[in-house]
Amino acid sequence: MDTFKTYETAWCPGCGNFNILRCLKKALEELGKSPYEVLMVAGIGQAAKTPQYISANRFCGLHGRALPAAVAAKIANEKLTVIVDTGDGDSYGEGGNHFMHNIRRNVDITHFVHDNQIYGLTKGQASPTTGEGHVTDVQVDGNANTPFNPILMAVSAGAGFVARAFSGDSEHLVSIMKEAISHKGYAFVDILQPCISFNKVNTFAYYKSRVYHIEESYNPADKMEALKKAMEAGDKIPIGVIYRETRPDFHEKKQILNTGVPLVDRRTDLQVVQKLIREFV
Amino acid sequence: MYNILIGGAAGQGIDTTVAILEKLLKKSGYYVFTVRDFMSRVRGGHNFSMIRFGTEIITSHNDKLDGIIALNDETVVLHKYKLKEKGFILCDGSLSAEGPQVIKLDMDKMAKNLGNARVLGSIAVGAVLKLFGESLEDVEDIMKASVKEQYLEINLEAIRAGYESVEARFAHMEGKFSDWMLISGSRALAMGAIAAGLQFYSAYPMSPSTPIMEFLASKSNETGMVVEQAEDEIAAVNMALGASYAGVRAMTGTSGGGFCLKVETLGFSGIAEIPLVAVDVQRPGPATGLPTRTEQSDLKFVISAAQGEFPRMVIALRNHEDAFYQTIRAFHLAEECQIPVIMLSDQYLGDSTATVKPYELSNIHVAEAAKADETEGEYLRYRLTQDGISPRLVPGKSRHFVSADSDEHDEGGFITESAQVRRAMMDKRMRKLKKLEEELLEPEFLGTEKCTTLLLGWGSTYGPIAEAVKGLNEDGKGEYGALVFGDIYPLPVKKLEKLASAVKYIINVEQNATGQLADLVREKTGIQCSSGILKYDGRQISGEEIVQRIRKGA
Ligand SMILES: Cc1ncc(C[n+]2csc(CCOP(=O)(O)OP(=O)(O)O)c2C)c(N)n1
Ligand SMILES: [Mg+2]
């Protein structure tokens, strides 16, 4: 099919990002997306370079600020398929406030976090998801902070689609990506991704031995179950859809957006401006 | 010309009373200019408004009062000394004010007898109308537009009751302004944005910028605009940029503190060449400063905000006409040059209302995104062009990919660290300054061409400076002139350089402590101001104050 091209990257050989990129291409192609309708948005970081490596529109913004730009682009043109691909530091650290509030805003975009539990581009400092005790050049006595649980946060803040995936499980990752992109509303996927250069704790083998596919019998529509699932950690890490619920998205809730005509295709009516001017006379 | 002050505590309904009164006075033909002075609190404290009205154009507030409408004792104590000899103090019978100027009316009792204590303000409105010899002709129309239907009748009764309880003291004058608009600076700015085709406004509440968001939101369904309250100012500006990238006209507004948070994104707009219109309604800083008061101290900050170098435009809004027309122009320049355009307003301009000629829509022109020439083959978002302006496509609207990067990038928008590409891209972006310079508007000159003393100002001190120059030249000698900058960065210097060599003294008049315009002028032209009139107590300088300070030998 090859409707999407991928380009040469600047990632370290063996990085989990390669497979995330491959799976993204596959997911988009299997969904029959046209590259011209896809907008890739990122902040800054190694993960955030993803939009540079795939043939689509791209908005490579500031560190931590991918989400506000992404949702606004979607508000401006609902015909775009907007996908944010960026890092754990970017999404949960610098951009933590935007993460929390865009869950609430529920604009129809997809948010893939390449969660390597470390700051990769800046060479290995602790990220919000770095494990307790993890020693780095900065956290010399071991990371003292409690790791942030993005899944728990997303479920509790009211996200309509919350999933976890693993960069080393391609088939599963593609299917989760397809589900997330197809979900109407804000869809969030935390993708476990080994960083071979700067995270010697959470390695490929570490993840491989711990992740398991969530049981068939699990009901992702049950929020209380989802909260429990979100808190599973340690030796067994569940991957799959943890919570799913369809709620009216931003466009459906905003009267003026719910017209079928994208904002970008409309023009302000000067008659209306004239009427407003008269209101001041 | 008349001048009245209405004062009381926050929560006593001064705003509504003033809004009704100013509309009635304008409708009867007066030119009306109202300033609002209030504290950063929801209840209590002391707030007041001054309404100046007459048959000629008024551009400044003034401290000499014909009347005080006092809703509490504090108002009398604080402002009594400003009263002219023939002036009056209208207050409730229960207040302690005494003296020949005091007109006591049992407004509170009257309101309660009418059945609602909250119509006290309308009783005062009625009394003021009578005192100034006005008729009740337009009252019903104005009130219909100002109060909810169920309260209309009782308010009309209250106005009539107030009207009947006093005697006229001043004569009505016939003005020609009844068909003009009465509008606040912030609403004028918002109207300009609407006329320019604004479709997306994102902001985080912050005084004194919030009225822009509130007005746009109140008209959003009519105009088809998305007004989004962001989680913080960083989100607000990045949302505006994302929307602009995707092809809709976008704006973000705040005051200095919020602008601080937006700074990194300002540079992003610069390097990614995404049009952005950003408003800073200034208040006194630093930090939280004086939240509801006025100052012009963000000039040097906004002209240099953000790391790195990139072309930007800064427009200082001078009055309620500028606020409309220059906002439209801001959108035009942002799109034409693909740059951030910053508009500086302030609390004085934003919250004051003035009478303006109905805005003219026939000459509105806002550039469309620079088209891509399909014959050139591959679409390059950052194509190196002669004027530095590259074709700007919108994502999803063609068979091309549109990129935006905060990293340095090549013509195709791919990240690069090549020294050669870096130079080419810096040069390309900086070339846009040339185009911008061609578009610059010289400052407005006021006074007489043969003047020997030249005042320099920018933004909202325009009105007070205009009144001061008129006053200073009343002796017929024509010694005074002024240049007031609207476009302020890049600084237009032609008129200034010409005049500076001809005058003896140059005095900068600014609402800040360090003379930021004087600094900028010296940096760009070498011209040194002889002295400065600087005010930084959070209260706007008046025309009369400028005259006094010059007479004292500023
Ligand atoms: C405002 C700002 N602060 C800091 C940085 C430096 N910085 C760039 S990427 C990054 C962290 C990257 O971590 P993450 O988002 O997890 O991405 P990764 O490289 O691990 O994929 C930091 C701190 C920056 N570019 N901008
Ligand atoms: Mg990371």
pLDDT of residue A81: 98
The token pair that represents B484 in the structure block: 């007031």
Query: What is the rounded average pLDDT for all residues in chain B?
Result: 96
Contact B342, B334 (CB under 8 A): no
Residues of A (216-255) whose Cβ lies below 8 Å from B: 254-255
Query: Is there a contact between A46 and A15 (Cβ–Cβ < 8 Å)?
Result: yes
As a residue count, chain B comes to 554
Nearest CA to ligand 1 atom 25: A63
CA atoms within 13 A on the CB side of A114: 32
CB contact under 8 A, A61 and B194: no
Q: Tokens 């397809």: give the residue.
A: A178
Distances (CA, A) of A269 to B31, B165, B265: 30, 48, 31
For residue range B255-314, what is the model confidence (pLDDT) as tens digits?
999 999 999 999 999 999 999 999 999 999 999 999 999 999 999 999 999 999 999 999
- Residue B372 has a pLDDT of 81
**Identity of the residue in A68, A100, A272 whose CB atom sits nearest the CB atom of B222:** A272
What is the domain-level CATH number for residue A62?
Answer: 3.40.50.970
How far, in Å, from the CA of A67 to the mean position of ligand 2? 16
Q: Is the bond leading into A35 cis (omega within 30 degrees of zero)?
A: no
What gap in Å lies between CA B481 and CA B503, rounded to an integer?
Answer: 9
Residue A103 lies in a domain: yes
Determine, for residues A58 and B403 on separate chains, whether the beta-carbon distance falls below 8 Å. yes
Q: Which residue ranges make up each domain of chain B?
A: 2-164, 182-356, 370-439, 444-551
pTM of structure: 0.97
User: In chain A, whose CA is at the least distance from the CA of B269?
Assistant: A61
The per-residue pLDDT for B228 is 98
- pLDDT of B374 over the 70 cut: no
Rg over alpha carbons for chain A, rounded to the nearest Å, is 20
Name the one residue in this structure whose structure tokens are 């775009």: A80
State which ligand 1 atom lies nearest to the alpha carbon of B264.
Answer: 1
pLDDT value at B526 more than 80: yes
Q: How many CA atoms lie within 13 A of B122 on its CB side?
A: 26
Residue pair A151/A162 in contact (Cβ under 8 Å)? The answer is yes
- What is the arithmetic mean of pLDDT over A185-206? 97
The string over A79-96, giving b where at least 16 C-beta atoms fall within 10 Å of a residue's C-beta and e elsewhere, is: ebbbbbbbbbbbbbbbbb
Domain range B2-164, CATH class? alpha beta
Q: How do residues B74-117 score in pLDDT, each as one tens digit? A: 999 999 999 999 999 999 999 999 999 999 999 999 999 999 99
pLDDT attached to residue B528: 98
Query: Quick one: closest CA in A to B412, which residue?
Result: A52
Count of structural domains within chain A: 1
**In which domain, by residue range, is A109 found?**
17-280
Query: Among A71, A79, A268, whose Cβ lies nearest the Cβ of B396?
Result: A79
Strands of B226-229's sheet, edge to edge? B226-229, B200-203, B250-254, B276-282, B340-346, B313-316, B487-489
Q: Which two tokens stand for residue A119?
A: 């700051």
% of residues, chain A, pLDDT over 70: 100
Distance from CA of A216 to the nearest CA of B (A): 38
pLDDT above 70: residue B413: yes
Tokens of B492: 């237009």
- How far is Cα B484 from Cα A55, in angstroms, rounded to an integer? 51
Out of A61, A77, A275, the one facing B246 most closely (by C-beta) is A77
**Strand segments (E) across B55-92:** 65-70, 83-92
3-state secondary structure (DSSP) of residue B509 = strand
**Structure token digits, residue B133:** 């010899």
**Nearest CA-CA distance, residue B245 and chain A, Å:** 7
Closest-CA distance, A183 to chain B, in angstroms, reads 20
Which numbered atom of ligand 1 lies nearest the CA of A88? 16
Please answer whether residues B504 and B453 qualify as being in contact, where contact means their C-beta atoms are separated by less than 8 angstroms. Answer: yes
Q: Please, are residues B496 and B255 in contact by the beta-carbon 8 Å criterion? A: no
Q: Is the pLDDT of residue B375 over 70?
A: no
- pLDDT in the model for residue A69: 98
Ligand 2 centroid–CA A105 distance in Å is 25
Separation of alpha carbons B310 and B432, rounded Å: 9
Q: Mean per-residue pLDDT for B225-242?
A: 98
pLDDT at B42 over 90: no
* Residue A17 alpha carbon, nearest atom of ligand 1: 21
Residues of chain B contacting A75 with CB distance shorter than 8 Å: 200, 226, 228, 243
Ligand 1 centre to CA of A118 (Å) is 10
Q: How many residues does chain A have?
A: 281
pLDDT reported for residue B371: 86
Instruction: Output the CA A33–ligand 1 centroid distance in Å.
Output: 30
CB pairs under 8 A between A and B: 186
Whether domain B444-551 has CATH 3.40.50.920: the reply is: yes
- The 10s digit of each residue's pLDDT in A217-240 is 999 999 999 999 999 988 999 999
Distance from CA of B329 to the nearest CA of A (A): 16
Cβ–Cβ below 8 Å for B395 and A73: yes
pLDDT digits (tens, 9 = 90+) for A41-67: 999 999 999 999 999 999 999 999 999
Q: Is residue A10 part of a domain?
A: no
Is A23 among the domain residues? yes
Residues with CB under 6 A from ligand 1: A 44-47, 63, 87-90, 114, 116, 118-122, 127
The pLDDT assigned to A245 comes to: 97
Q: Give distance in angstroms: CA of A119 to centre of ligand 1.
A: 6
Q: Of the candidates A69, A98, A256, which has its C-beta nearest B220's C-beta?
A: A256
- 3-state SS, one letter per residue, for chain A: CCCCCECCCCCCCCCHHHHHHHHHHHHHHHCCCCHHHEEEEECCCCHHHHHHHECCEEEECCCCCHHHHHHHHHHHCCCCEEEEEEEHHHHHHHCHHHHHHHHHHCCCCEEEEEECCCECCCCCECCCCCCCCCCCCCCCCCCCCCCCCHHHHHHHHCCCEEEEEECCCHHHHHHHHHHHHHCCCCEEEEEECCCCCCCCCCCHHHHHHHEEECCCCCCCCCHHHHHHHHCCCCCCEEEEEEEECCCCCHHHHCCCCCCCCCHHHCCCCHHHHHHHHHHCC
Q: Are A96 and A173 in contact (CB under 8 A)?
A: no
Long-range contacts of B95-99 (CB under 8 A, 24+ apart): B95/B70, B97/B70, B97/B73
> Which residue from A minimizes the CA distance to B178?
A281
Distance CA B207, CA B217 (A): 16
For β-strands B200-203 and B226-229, DSSP reports them as: parallel
A257 in contact with chain B, both atoms CB, cutoff 8 A: yes
Structure tokens at A160: 């309509």
Ligand 1 center from residue B238 Cα (angstroms): 17
The whole-number pLDDT of residue B11 equals 86
Contact: A264, B403; criterion CB under 8 Å: no
Q: What value does the mean pLDDT take over residues A155-175? A: 98
Share of chain B above pLDDT 90, in %: 95
Distance from CA of B318 to the nearest CA of A (A): 20
Q: Among all ligands shown, which has an atom nearest to the Cα of A92?
A: 1
CA distances (Å), origin A109, targets A82, A94, A97, A243: 5, 20, 17, 16
The end-to-end CA distance of chain A, in Å, is: 62
Chain A CB contacts of B406 under 8 Å are: 44, 60-62
For residue B44, name the pLDDT band (cuts at 50, 70, 90): confident
Q: Which helix (H) or strand (E) holds B507?
A: strand B505-510
Cβ separation of B361 and A72 shorter than 8 Å? Answer: no
Is residue A197 within 8 Å of A10, Cβ to Cβ? no
Residues 90..129 of A with a Cβ closer than 8 Å to B: which? 97-98, 100-101
* Domain B182-356, CATH number (from 1.10.150.120, 3.60.15.10, 3.60.10.10, 3.40.50.970): 3.40.50.970
Longest CA span, chain B: 85
Contacts of B264 in chain A (CB under 8 A): 62
Query: What sign does the CA torsion over B503, B504, B509, B514 have?
Result: positive
Atom of ligand 1 nearest to the CA of A87: 15
- CA-nearest of A237, A239, A46 to A127 is A46
Whether the pLDDT of residue A1 is over 70: the answer is: no
User: From CA A108, how far away is CA A114, in angstroms rounded?
Assistant: 20
Interface test with B, best of A121, A265, A270, A281 (most B CBs within 10 A): A281
Q: What pLDDT score does A233 carry?
A: 84
3 state SS of B201:
strand
Q: Which of A49, A67, A121, A196 to mutate to test the pocket of ligand 1 (most atoms within 8 A of CB)?
A: A121
The tens digit of pLDDT for each residue in B454-491 reads: 999 999 999 999 999 999 999 999 999 999 999 999 99
Residue recorded with tokens 């003379």: B515
B470 backbone dihedrals φ, ψ, rounded to 5°: -60, -50
Domains B2-164 and B444-551 share a fold: no
Q: Give the separation between CA B260 and CA B254, rounded to whole angstroms.
A: 10
Whether A197 has a pLDDT exceeding 80, the answer reads yes
